[in-house]
Amino acid sequence: RGMTEPALELRRPPRLRPGDRVWVVAPSGPVDPARLDRGCAELESWGLQVVRGEHVLDRDRYLAGRDVDRAADLQAAWCDPTAGAVFCARGGSGATRLLGLLDWRAMGAAPPKVLVGYSDITALQEGVATHLGLTSLFGPMPAAETFAGEAPDRASIDHLRRTLFAPEEVQVLHGGQTTCVNPGTARGATVGGTLALLAGSIGTPESRPAAGRVVVLEDITEPAYRIDNLLTQLLRTGWFDGVQGIVLGSWVDCGDDAVETIRERLAPLGVPMISGMPFGHAVPQLTVPLGVPAELDADAGTLTMTVPALE
């Protein structure tokens, strides 16, 4: 099992400021051009200079172009010394295919920057933490529905903007529908993201176990029996050994018994645990910093970053 090394402290990239240059790339699924235009316009309205990856509108079946091109865009964005953030246009599938193609040494030599995304981007967030020692933001993406659909959710967009520009304003995460599963308080850096991506990373260099940390979990369109299998895989490999607390987000289209199944599998760990925190694929969608020290108060239903998400 051997997965109980202490949580290592990650560095927090600098916050954004008006005038900063940022990139939008597509490391996963193909991007809708109209949504991309709306999302980039929103970012520009924040005073940001937006650069689009050369291959951001490429298509190859269920992917946003060839692996080598998606990896090249991400690496070019990361190695741009003038850029402050890299936004992933959307999720889907394919990010894990890039992990072995990226020149992490070159990326590590570049100035630290913020990676923004969720869902499939969990794989890249694990990679940025493991190889570059950096925190990231699990939040709305500029060509996804919440950010740039026909009816974008202003509250979700505003929470991301504040996290990027004024992170001390949004250190406390809470939601009106949170439920206490196991009471108590827990402290540790946040780790996690989308369940299927975390389970799929087991055995790879990028897998970051929960020891000493507070886990945040969500997913979409995974039926309860699949969620059971994914959690069982994480439990049996020792990924959860030494976990300090658990925060469950949204489980969109996972079925009515999904959360009951998750509680059944994870409540016996005996650590403070809440469900219903509004992050993940549902609306509204809070931005959750990954790798940042936090305190979970399960009785109050809050997850508080003990430092701002960004420097």
Q: Which residues are catalytic?
A: 119, 218, 281
Which of 200, 233, 236 shows the shortest CA–CA distance to 124? Answer: 200
252-257: list long-range contacts, CB under 8 Å, 24+ apart. Answer: 252/220, 252/221, 252/280, 252/281, 252/282, 253/220, 253/221, 254/219, 254/220, 254/221, 254/222, 254/223, 254/224, 254/227, 255/223, 255/224, 257/224
DSSP secondary structure letter of residue 23 = E
Quote the CA–CA distance of 118 and 138 in Å, as a whole number.
Answer: 5
Three-class secondary structure assignment of 217-231: EEEECCCHHHHHHHH
Q: Quick check: 203 and 209 in contact, CB under 8 A? A: no
